[in-house]
Structures are given as structure tokens and as C-alpha cells.
Amino acid sequence: MDLQAKLSNKIGVIVDSLKLPLYEGLKKVKEIGADGVQIYAVNGSMAPENMSPIARKELRNFLDSIGLEISALCGDLGGHGFQDAVLNEEKVEKSKRILDLAVDLGTNIVTTHIGIIPENQNSKIYEAMQIACEELGVYAKSLDAFFAIETGPETASRLKQFLDSLSTNGVSVNFDPANMVMVTGDDPVAGVKLLQDYIVHTHVKDGVQLKAVDPKDVYGFLGYGGGVDHAKIAEMVSSGTYFREMPLGHGKVDFPNYFAALKEINYDGYLTIEREVNINPVKDIADAVMYIQQFIH
């Protein structure tokens, strides 16, 4: 990448990837040179129902005091995402509360998996996902916020077709190039250009596909497997049966051209490091920060 193509984006870290208590993790993120953090906000002390107004203010004040921002919250509810119409009322309501929490904490982005978008646009599952995401998109837009779907479970073209069917861009994209490389075999550079109008946040991780895999065996599908299970996915990326997550620069994501594509579309959001392999996450993430810094002014 030449000097003209270098990025000016901020670097984030999914603090949960460090496997440390929250406030200790936040301090570590600052120590290793990142600008912001993404935090899971589904269960435990960070769940919106457990975050009182005082707790929200305390967290914001602490982040301000050490000079960190929140790049996004992760609001991934697991299971089949929004494929099951019976469960969607409760899941949509919870997702709205996570959006409210995000705004209170100074970010306007919540990332998630919504379940694999079916090829058949006339199916009941497609309809259930569409209705849920339409409601969430309208609500996010009312907050000047975004509910961002993570790439990987389906091709970029199918994801764009789904997003184009919604009435707002309140549901947008959290672009993860490694998921595409490891699972669908999609090209991240082409995906960036295709989804450019929707990309509001990115994950930076690397990986390699070892054997073709049906995305349903990774992410589940209503009536087929148990749905998104992060412990199961972490085990899959470690075991290397189908794919393996790799340190940045050691997998099959073409980062020079990927970053050039982000610059080309004028993406100015966060590059947020995710590490799902937990052998030595603090070192891996510190190394990842240094790797990204070579592409930044």
C-alpha cells in the first residue's frame, strides 16, 4: 500500500476478546495503543436491564478518563437470530434496549448476527427476518443509530439484496473479512465495494478456509442445528477442521487491498480487532494493533 492509500481510521478492540474483567480490560486496551472498544451488551453486568443510569454514567466517565471511545456494542442474541417469528417480538424489544444503551454510552452502532438470510425470498424465514429488521431499522434510524449485521453467514450479494429490501439504512453492515474467507469463500475486496453504502463498522481478523463448509454447520439455521453459539464457533476456529483463525497477516485476508478498498469507499469508521482464539489473547491483540498501525498515517 503506498503512502497515498494509507488510512486515518481509528483502531478498536473487542474488549471481551482479552478475557479480562471489564475495567481491567479497558485499561489494557488503552495500554496496547487502541483508540476504542467494542463491548458485548447482552448478558451480565453490561446487559441493558442491568445497566442503571448511574452505571452508564460511571462507565462513560471512566472511558473519558483514560481516553477511550466505544466503537460499538455487540448485541448478538445468539440462537437463530431473527429467523424464528415466534421469538422475534422479545428479541426485537431486547435489541431496541441495547440500541438505547449504545446511545447512552456515546456510540450509535450495535453489531449482531441475524441468522443466515435464506436464498428463497418468499420463504417464511425470510419474511420473519425482514419484518424484524424493518422494525429495528426504523427504530435505529429514529435514534440516528445503526443495527449492523456482521458479514459471513451468506454472500455479500445476498446480504445486499436483503438490505435493499428494507425502507431505511438503520440496519446496515459490520464488515468482517475473515468470516467471508473462512466460511463462504466470498472475496472481501469485492464485498466492500458491493456493500459500501451500508458499512458502518468493521472487524479486523484473519483466517484461512481449510475445507469447504456449509454455513449452516457454522451458524445454524432454523430447523437445522442450534443457531449461533460463540463457544462452538470459537472451538471451530481453534480446531481447524474447516477453517482456522490466524494472527493478522498470516491468513488469507488480503489486508493491503482490503484496506485500500475501505479507503476507496471513504469508510471512516473503526477497524475493530476481534480474536476468538484464546491461547494468548493479550499478546495477539497487541500484535494486531501494531500490524494495523503500519497501514495508518
Kind and range of the H or E run holding 11: strand 11-14
- Examine the pLDDT at 3 and tell me if it is beyond 60: no
What is the pTM assigned to this prediction? 0.94
User: From the CB of residue 73, how many other CB atoms can be counted at a distance below 10 Å?
Assistant: 26
Q: Please give the pLDDT value at position 297.
A: 78
Taking only the tens place, the pLDDT of each residue in 209-245 is: 999 888 888 888 888 766 666 666 667 766 678 889 9
Nearest to 133 by CA among 83, 78, 200: 83
The span from the CA of 145 to the CA of 108, in Å, is 4
What is the percentage of the chain residues whose pLDDT exceeds 70? 93
Q: Grid coordinates representing 52? A: 442503571
With bands split at pLDDT 50, 70 and 90, how would you rate the model's confidence at 52? very high
Nearest to 292 by CA among 19, 5, 25, 10: 10
The span from the CA of 110 to the CA of 117, in Å, is 19
Residue type, 93: E
Q: Cβ contacts of residue 171 below 8 Å, gap of 6+?
A: 133, 134, 136, 137, 140, 146, 147, 148, 149, 163
Taking only the tens place, the pLDDT of each residue in 260-286 is: 999 999 999 999 999 887 778 999 999
CA atoms in the 13 A half-sphere facing the CB of 176: 27
Taking only the tens place, the pLDDT of each residue in 153-173 is: 999 999 999 999 999 999 999
Residue count of the chain: 297
